A and B are shown apart, each in its own frame.
Chain A
Amino acid sequence: MPDLSDDALSQAIAAAAHDAPYPDGRPGRFLTLDAVAALARECGLSPRRVEIAALERGVCPLRYARNLRAFTMAEQARLLASCAAMVGLGGLGGGLLENLVRTGVGTVRAADGDIFEESNLNRQLLSDRAALGVPKASAALARAAAVNPSVDFSAQAGFLDRAGMDALLEGADVAVDALGGLVDRPALAAAARQRGIPLVTGAVAGYTVIVATVPPGASSPVELLAGGGGTAAEEVLGCPSPAVMAAAALMAAEVVRLLAGRAPALAGKALVADLEAMRFDTVTF
């Protein structure tokens, strides 16, 4: 039914929805996973379009029921219509992907040319014993599809040069720096600057975490923090799981906030989290 009218879509969604209370007791109208899939087939739409249409009509896909009131229905619909472009599917990228896909960011594009190895198992969410030797991009595709098939997720199994980053960021609303090391970060920051989109970036060494949002045109605090030369601290201290997962979660909160249409919490600022002392500071650059 490619020429489905608005009225017909509204009727189909109304017929497929069920009444139930939200966790706080408010009455609500919901669509189950099966209902979304059936509507997608019936209406010739992607599951993502069905979910957006439902939210626009006050019907919440059940999988997002506990996203509300962190987000309004309009913001949830906006998230499903938004696009994040992420470089890196290791420690930061795996945690970010999990958060973005569960939240319902509609389109996520990623790239990583690595395969999983044993030294990734301490922190990288997408890695497990069966994934050793598997491209990180392949594991990410399987995970995203298993968690939320409504998300239009694509992952390139390759390391991107500047031109590749430019292409990945085309049409994206936010760029996400989930890279390890410093080598490729300046190119991604430059690509985001050229596209005129914000960049959410983060890094970890031991139990120290840095997360920052770089508004279009601003300089990256992570470049500043990584400045001064010398050995990067993570080569001595490593990247333990709690620090990496915390960095990914903090970055995801900023990415989702931006994609929902809100102002960034860290514009021109960096959050420095010291998980040894359990101290969080916001610093200005």
Chain B
Amino acid sequence: MRLLAGLARQAASAPPDGRLDLADGETVASLAARCGVDPAAVGTVLVNGRAAGPEVRLAPGDDVVFVPPITGG
């Protein structure tokens, strides 16, 4: 998993190398919760390059990217 644009600074329990073992029935939401990612700070979650909702089930090897709202220019 990766935390973009400042989310890593807030997520105290995220593994530094981005690799973690999946819990039984792990979803995007449960992964965020146990890594300390504030759901209110997340704009979009990408699972294997596709936008995914909080209920999406994760499988071993999935690439999960948490992206906050980004609108600057």
The reply to whether chain A is a binding partner of chain B is yes
The answer for the CA separation of A268 and B46 in the assembled complex, in Å, is 15
Assess whether B50 is in contact with A230, with CB atoms less than 8 Å apart.
Answer: no
Most chain B CB inside 10 Å of its own CB: which residue of A88, A185, A230: A230
Asked if A278 is at the interface of the complex by the 8 Å CB criterion, the answer is no
Which residue of A179, A181, A208 is within 8 Å of B5 (Cβ)? A208
Most chain B CB inside 10 Å of its own CB: which residue of A236, A277, A282: A236
Assess whether A283 is in contact with B72, with CB atoms less than 8 Å apart.
Answer: no
Assess whether B65 is in contact with A205, with CB atoms less than 8 Å apart.
Answer: no
Assess whether A233 is in contact with B69, with CB atoms less than 8 Å apart.
Answer: yes
Interface-lining segment among A14-22, A41-49, A65-73, A218-226: A218-226
Asked if B68 is at the interface of the complex by the 8 Å CB criterion, the answer is yes
Number of interface residues of B (CB under 8 A): 22
Residues of chain A from 177 to 227 with CB closer than 8 A to chain B in the complex: 178-182, 185, 202-208, 210, 222, 224-227
B47 to chain A, nearest CB (A): 10
Asked if A228 is at the interface of the complex by the 8 Å CB criterion, the answer is yes
Assess whether B73 is in contact with A233, with CB atoms less than 8 Å apart.
Answer: no
The answer for the CA separation of A285 and B47 in the assembled complex, in Å, is 11
Assess whether B70 is in contact with A232, with CB atoms less than 8 Å apart.
Answer: yes
Most chain A CB inside 10 Å of its own CB: which residue of B4, B46, B49: B4
Kindly report which residue of chain A lies nearest to residue B8, judged by CB atoms: A276
Which residue of A179, A228, A230, A231 is within 8 Å of B73 (Cβ)? A179
A114 to chain B, nearest CB (A): 12
Which residue of B7, B40, B43, B49 is within 8 Å of A227 (Cβ)? B43
Assess whether A178 is in contact with B73, with CB atoms less than 8 Å apart.
Answer: yes
Kindly report which residue of chain B lies nearest to residue A229, judged by CB atoms: B40
Query: Which residues of the partner chain A approach B68 to less than 8 Å between Cβ atoms?
Result: 205, 230, 232-233
Which residue of A92, A227, A238, A239 is within 8 Å of B44 (Cβ)? A227
Asked if A61 is at the interface of the complex by the 8 Å CB criterion, the answer is no
Assess whether A226 is in contact with B46, with CB atoms less than 8 Å apart.
Answer: no
B20 to chain A, nearest CB (A): 18
Kindly report which residue of chain A lies nearest to residue B39, judged by CB atoms: A228
Query: Which residues of the partner chain A approach B51 to less than 8 Å between Cβ atoms?
Result: 224, 283, 285
Query: A225 with B72: in contact, given A205-B6, A274-B4, A284-B49 (CB under 8 Å)?
Result: no
A63 to chain B, nearest CB (A): 28
The answer for the CA separation of A239 and B72 in the assembled complex, in Å, is 7
Most chain B CB inside 10 Å of its own CB: which residue of A178, A237, A244: A237
Most chain B CB inside 10 Å of its own CB: which residue of A180, A204, A234: A234
Query: Which residues of the partner chain B approach A247 to less than 8 Å between Cβ atoms?
Result: 73
Which residue of B40, B46, B72 is within 8 Å of A230 (Cβ)? B40
B53 to chain A, nearest CB (A): 11
Q: Which residues of B contact A (CB under 8 A)?
A: 2, 4-7, 40-44, 46, 49-51, 65, 67-73
Q: Which residues of A contact B (CB under 8 A)?
A: 88, 90-93, 178-182, 185, 202-208, 210, 222, 224-234, 236-239, 244, 247, 272, 274, 277, 281-285
Closest 4 CB pairs of A and B: A234-B72, A208-B5, A180-B73, A233-B68
